[in-house]
Amino acid sequence: MNSPKAHAAHMNHPIRTAAVVGALGIVYGDIGTSPLYAFKESFKVATQGGVDLQDGVFGVLSLIFWALTITISIKYLIFILKADNEGEGGVLALITGLRLHKHKGGYKAVLLLIGLSGAAMLFGDGVITPAISVLSAMEGISVVAPSLENWIVQLTFIILIGIFMSQRFGTDKIGWVYGPIMLIWFIVLGLMGIHQIIQQPQVLTALNPYYAINLLSLHPGLAAAIIGSAFLAVTGGEALFADMGHFGRGVIRVSWFTVVMPGLVLNYFGQGALTLSRGGVVENPFFELAPQWFGIPLLGLATLATIVASQAMITGAFAISRQTIEVGYFPPMRVKGTSERNSQHIFIPRLNMALMAVTLGVVVLFPSSSQLASAYGIAVAFAMLTTTILFSVWMWQKSKWPKLAIMFVCAIFIALDLAYVSTNLMKVLDGGWLPLLMGACVLTAMMSWHRGIEKLIERHMGYTEPIEDFAARTVGAPLAHVHKVGVFFSRTGTMAPVPLERLTNMLHMKFDRVVILSIRISSRPRVDISERLTMTKIDDQVVKIEIRYGYMQNINIPATIGPVLTDLGIHTDETLYIIGHERVIVPPDPRTPSDFMNILFGFLAATAERAVDRFHLPASRTLEIGYPVRM
């Protein structure tokens, strides 16, 4: 394993000003743009339900403030950030850290399904966040340039297309400006809020949780809808945990408490103060906070901030995809690195196009932020709940706290998340069905892929024989010699690869040397180079090599095995890479759910990235051998 010192060094990133500013752009883009719509939607729900002006403003502000305090400041920043997997965070880090993906039955299989459901929901968040963020910013046009109000959707389309099309260039070259943009954004949020708070200082009494309790108790029929709307203020909280590997928990905490939370709270309370001063007659309290001369610059700054928020969610979806691919729950897709300095800067072309198509479709279905707010929140609330459940298991297994204290703390967090989920579920008919449908589709694809790979391995066990038996059977057999070194890939690591068996049995061919590779993805994000290879010499002609990678590492087979081949006296330019390409035969007349899962797996397998691309194999020395596999 990586040494404790290496782990500590990875987690304890230096808390420098540059790192704090950088975290603002990568970690806090989503939650940082919530003031564009969170207070507006929450107050609208309250007033439409007949709530008194002051009770509505104070109650909504109190709910938002305590949601930020309990959910973000306490639950995520104090507790959940501790549950890292060698420095990496997110629901996949919890799954791998608890080794849930290594178990096929029992309660761990249930926990695995819960965790994968949360990961699947985050894809829905990656679609809706760009849509609602950019739409909310463009709706400022109705305040600062009413004559262009009819162009809101068209401008949203143009910006979103630009965001997705620019992904191929990577964020490494322009990412350095994201932090400063968000720093300016949070400063402006705070200054806008302070200006109104000074004029209506009584609004600060909403810091008292009494007003939140009072609002919910006096209007129980509206409680669920108000909580569901106030939850919009904490969307993006999951990014705090998922992006921990970029900066470390210390930098993320300092950024929140010194810049992000003060800016957010001041702006929310400023919006409340403005609403009080105008007797509740406000259309867009965020943009109406600004003096008239600052309207156009604020619109431009809001647009930049939503671009940063969208970028963060898209790259987050790329990262989740790569992790699920490596742990075996997503079909391989071509992953392109966009930075020579940071392997976490990646671009997945196929996923990017899919996200763009769905995001634009969402804007067509929900052409205003108010309509889209009904669809927003469910995915994030469900993902937060799954993270909290897995975190509770992590605390129980790994924390040194007294068990009673663990039960008490985790019960509070789970109860809070259940409240968020249940209140957001009320939005299902108004648009909440969309993220649920997307999450269900992604989860189905995950389970179908993993199930299909397991069945392929079962089929391989019947098609071939143990490596040792193959070597013994062919050592003196009268076979035609191919004066090359054949490098084959074994899914199991114990059985001879099917292509090797086919070449031997059908074409009576024998290579001078045979190297059999098996690739294992560790439950850790990174595997040190000293632990990368294990070589076993079967006989003078056959060598077996097991290669281990972390789930956050890129796979480059030629670079990895090159030194070992040289030590064996094998010239790397004399090697041929022979890979199997299974042609999945699906049921012609599907009748059962299992048949349909097989059909989905067949489609995913046919469109998955080829090993020659995924493993960086040289195309001129790679041979693919196809063979049918009936599911």
**pLDDT tens string 442-481:** 999 999 999 998 888 888 887 889 999 999 998 888 888 8
Provide DSSP, 503-572: HHHHH-EEEEEEEEEEEEE-SSS---GGGSEEEEE-SSSEEEEEEEE-TTS---HHHHHHHHHHHTT--G
**Does pLDDT of 8 surpass 70?**
no
- Give me the amino acid identity at 283: E
> Residue 107: which region, alpha, beta or left (left: phi > 0; alpha: psi -120 to 50)?
alpha
Contact 325, 521 (CB under 8 A): no
| Strand partners of residue 519 | 547
The conformational region for residue 486 under phi > 0 = left, psi -120 to 50 = alpha, else beta, is beta
Rounded to an integer, what distance in angstroms lies between the CA atom of residue 527 and that of residue 590?
42
- The radius of gyration of the chain from alpha carbons, rounded to an integer in Å, stands at 27
Share the mean pLDDT of the chain: 87
Helix (H, G, I), strand (E, B) or coil at 330: coil
pLDDT in tens, 240-274: 888 777 778 888 999 999 999 999 999 999 999 99
For residue 405, what pLDDT band results from cuts at 50, 70 and 90?
very high
Cα–Cα distance, 217 to 227 (Å, whole number): 12
Q: What is the pLDDT of residue 309?
A: 84
Report percent pLDDT > 70 for the chain.
95
Residue 90, SS3 per DSSP: coil
pTM, two decimal places = 0.85
**Per residue in 264-300, pLDDT tens?**
999 999 999 999 999 988 889 999 999 988 989 999 9
pLDDT for res 191: 96
**Residue from 438, 238, 441, 424 nearest 358 by CA:** 438
Tokens 């970028």 belong to residue = 311
Query: How far apart, in whole angstroms, are the C-alpha atoms of residue 129 and residue 306?
Result: 9
Query: How does DSSP assign 280-302, residue by residue?
Result: T--S-HHHHTS-GGGHHHHHHHH
Hey, which of 92-106, 161-175, 192-206, 428-442 has the most confident mean pLDDT? 192-206
- CA torsion angle for 369, 370, 374, 379 (degrees, to 10)? 30
Residues paired with 337 in a beta bridge: 346
Distances (CA, A) of 434 to 204, 359, 411, 452: 37, 11, 29, 27
What pLDDT shows up at residue 343? Answer: 58
Distance, CA of 102 to CA of 100 (rounded, Å): 5
* Residue spans of beta strands (DSSP E) within 197-278: none
Please say whether the beta carbons of 66 and 212 come within 8 A. yes
Average pLDDT over residues 512-529: 87
- Least Cα distance to 348 among 382, 316, 381, 380 occurs for 316
Provide the token pair at 3. 């040494």
Q: What is the pLDDT of residue 341?
A: 58
Domain architecture of the chain: domains with CATH:
16-451 (1.20.1740.10), 464-630 (no CATH)
Cβ neighbors of 615 (< 8 A, separation 6 or more) are: 519, 555, 556, 557
Q: What share of the chain is helix, strand, coil (3-state, %, to 5)?
A: 70, 10, 20
**pLDDT tens digits for 344-402?**
667 888 888 999 999 999 999 888 888 887 777 888 899 899 999 999 999 999 888 99
Q: How far apart are CA 18 and CA 95, in angstroms?
A: 31
